[in-house]
Amino acid sequence: MSPPASPPPCPPPCPRVLRAETLRVETRRDGAAVPLVTDATFELRTGEVLALVGASGSGKSLACAALLDTLPPGTRRSAGRVSLDGVAVAPAALRGRTVASVLQAPRSAFNPLRTIADHAGETGAAAGLRRAGARAAMREALAAVGLGDDPRVPDLYPFQMSGGMLQRAMIALALLARAPFLVADEPTTDLDLVAQARILDLLAALVRDRGLGLLIVTHDMGVVARLADRTAVMAEGRIVEGGDTAALFARPDRPETRALLAAHHALSAEAS
Amino acid sequence: MTARPTPSLLSTRDLGKAYAGTGWRRGTPRTVLAGIELAVAAEECVALIGRSGSGKSTLARLLLGLERPDAGAVRFRGQDLAGLDRAGQRRFRAAVQMVLQDPLSAVNPRHDIGRIVAEPLRHLTDLPAAERVARVGAMLSLVGLDPASSGRLPGQLSGGQVQRVGLARALATRPALVVLDEAVSNLDAPLQVEILDRLAALRRQQGTAFLLVTHDVRLARRFADRVLVLEGGRIVDAAPCRPRLDLTHPAARALVDAVLPAYPEGAR
Amino acid sequence: MTTSGSLRAARPGLGPLAVPGALAVAILLLTLLGPLAAPHDPLAVDLTARFEPSSLTHPLGTDHLGRDILSRLIAGARTTLGAVAAALALVVALGLGVGAVAGMLGGRTDAVLMRLCDVFLTVPTFVLALFLIGAFGTGLVNVIAAIALSHWAWYARIVRGLVLELKTRDYVLAARIAGAAPPTIFVEHVLTGVLPPLVALATLDIGHMALHVAGLSFLGLGVQPPTPEWGVMINEARAFFWTRPLLVVWPGLAIALAVLAFNRLGDALRDRLDPTLVAERGL
């Protein structure tokens, strides 16, 4: 299907654009190549949220991993290119400095034997921050995610924190790198709805205040409705429909999109 | 709750649970549940909602007799679980079943689907082998799976299909009450709706009662007759779902307010 | 996500098992056939044929009493590995039983059994063997007892650890909900996870225990001459080491090959039976 709409005339300051073109991801089964993602093209701009939505197994997480070259073992990107502001780049070179990422399961993403400050130091060093600067940057990042009020937070170990706090801490680490883009793969799946709502509020605020470009991968049309400016719907490894989120909700074209929306509305009905 | 003339299916009296501190510094026991009074009647559908850490899963385990309460009691048809003899325990197990949250880890990866679904039948019923096979097939069709899939391993199915297997296992003994411990929370919305609709149909046909344990008000509202709100180990609010779910406690309001919008802002 | 295809490709094939497996099977076959496979009577003394070099009738020559060395090696395999098998059977049975009871029941039973294990963990094989032989006299039975008593506690600890880990699985909780009693849960859901690493460990220990049997016999504490046994053969050949070194080399080589074969087999089995790989194979 058609890729999400081409960029509008550029208002100053010009947004940065991260573009994935015709990505293809394959695995091998019984000696033959089996495509898991086919011809995935999408574009992420700073200051705006793109949602990659689909049922489980639709390939949305793999498409996202292909963008950053973080595919799981046994799968590989066999076609497509990634460009930043129109210049082709190696996906691996984007990670950290240009694109920060937030993962689904915060608990397994942290080293259980190291404190939040230790993790921040590591991330800061990778981003080229010096020690004193790193400490200040960490405090600022923790404050930005709503963990700034409690002075004990930097010295906490992951097991001492709730899932919601850990997800905030992970977003804080992502902010430390000062990357213009943030990729979040199912960032609220392991959280309860209250924690989810707060994390989504936080992400929306970061996009608004810092002009981040956010790519969020989700199976929940509620998350899409809350956050996304543009949406790409995936099914069976392909982007089947894409475009402005409001238009998509108003006039879904494809059966896959309609199924997702029908279930979403069935659950959202009787909203008080 | 006041005493009723007919005992409810499953009820609790002043139920409490505390865990000893762990690690090097064993502090005072941490209370996770206190003063829980609830009753589920036959053919009723109750939702127990609360945030993570509110004690929902602990309560579910106590209700199933998988852990011992530190205070109060769980009663099955008026009888204290702790006082059940072996035959009574077997009847209780067959009558009260539970579906766990994570489908893939709740099934033995080395057992095929048929064996998984037949497990409660082997332990809790006296069905002969041939009838067990027939019942397994019937249960698989009931949850929307092909009975022919009983020879397959869980790893060959999708997450949603494996959760249906877990559901078929819980329904196999034709229980009077099924506890769903976040059993649909992690599925896609289309699957959630489909499974909840199937369970609602089952309830109409067979009068099975359900206790839906979840953090998602949307699921509770769609499926249950009434809602209990758990916060900090206590039941802080309760209300019927129809005509309109009306909760007042701040913790309950937070759960309701956390429901995501139906439409994006521009399209409303 | 669907990555099963690649995992299937990455899982170990028959390759690593083939060579040590074939060697171990050959050794086991010789052990079982024993005297039937031997060209001569391993005990037949012929003083007119002492120290004969390799020939068609005596492929590895004869020893200081004119006995056929190949026949003695083959018969010795049965003695040595038979003792190992007996010791290992005791160790696995005791370890599995104690470890399973401790792990499944937990609490006070677990504490008592584990302290008992701690006591046995402090006992070195050779010291226990010396004690048993001092008290009950030399003999293969005492060697087997010494090996079993000084090794079972390791197995019990490992089994208990595996049981404790497997017991936390959701599917064990689901089995409780399905009404399975603890012994049933152990057999249906826990044992399948315990056995593969246990088999691998036991295979690895065959070589190690063969060294114990041969070592104790070499010291004159286990099997007594003229019974053919690899350690005994080395001990007997010791006197002629400078003039007839091959008499020491042959049984030494047999021990080395057996240890190597079973160690490699154990390694390969561990890789192949690793519980995570077994789980993945289900995909």
Q: Could you tell me the two tokens for B201?
A: 């149909």
Q: To the nearest whole percent, how much of chain B has pLDDT over 90?
A: 67
Give the separation between CA A119 and CA A161, rounded to whole angstroms.
Answer: 14
Per-residue pLDDT tens over the stretch C36-69: 767 777 777 777 777 777 777 777 777 777 788 8
Instruction: Report yes or no: B166 at the C interface, CB cutoff 8 Å.
Output: yes
- Residue C15 confidence (pLDDT): 57
Instruction: Classify residue C206 by burial, with Cβ atoms within 10 Å: 0-12, 13-18, 19+.
Output: buried
Question: pTM of the entire structure?
Answer: 0.80
Q: What type of residue sits at position B62?
A: L
Residue B93 to residue C177, Cβ atoms within 8 A: yes
Distance from CA of B187 to the nearest CA of A (A): 8
Helix H or strand E segment including B73: strand B71-76
Q: What is the CATH number of domain C17-29+62-277?
A: 1.10.3720.10
pLDDT classification of A248: cutoffs 50, 70, 90:
very high
State the ipTM, two decimals. Answer: 0.88
Instruction: Report yes or no: B256 at the A interface, CB cutoff 8 Å.
Output: yes
Per-residue pLDDT tens over the stretch A164-198: 888 888 888 888 878 899 999 888 887 888 888 98
What residue in A sits closest to B268 (Cα-Cα)?
A246
Residue A194 to residue B258, Cβ atoms within 8 A: yes
Among A residues 60-99, those touching chain C with beta carbons less than 8 Å apart: 61-62, 72-75
Q: Could you tell me the two tokens for A223?
A: 């998350």
Q: Could you tell me the two tokens for C112?
A: 């008592």
Residue C3 to residue A27, Cβ atoms within 8 A: yes
In degrees, to the nearest 5, what angle opens at C-alpha A159 toward C-alphas A156 and A160?
A: 45
Instruction: Compare B105 and A163 and report the one with higher pLDDT.
Output: B105
Count of positions (residues) in chain B: 268
Instruction: Report yes or no: B158 at the A interface, CB cutoff 8 Å.
Output: yes
- Domains located in chain B, CATH noted: 10-259 (3.40.50.300)
Pair type for strands A238-244 and A230-235: antiparallel
**Three-state secondary-structure class, residue C62:** strand
Residue A72 to residue C1, Cβ atoms within 8 A: yes
Pair type for strands A75-84 and A87-89: antiparallel
Instruction: Report yes or no: B218 at the A interface, CB cutoff 8 Å.
Output: yes
Other Cβ atoms less than 10 A from the Cβ of B107: the count is 29
pLDDT classification of B215: cutoffs 50, 70, 90:
very high
- Domains located in chain A, CATH noted: 17-98+179-266 (3.40.50.300), 112-178 (no CATH)
Domain boundaries, chain C: 17-29+62-277
Distance from CA of A112 to the nearest CA of C (A): 19
Nearest to A263 among B190, B221, B264 (CB): B190
Mutate to test the interface with C, among A29, A70, A71 (most CBs of C within 10 A): A29
Kindly calculate the radius of gyration of chain B based on its CA atoms and give it in whole angstroms.
Answer: 19
Give the separation between CA B265 and CA A266, rounded to whole angstroms.
Answer: 19
- Residue B25 confidence (pLDDT): 56
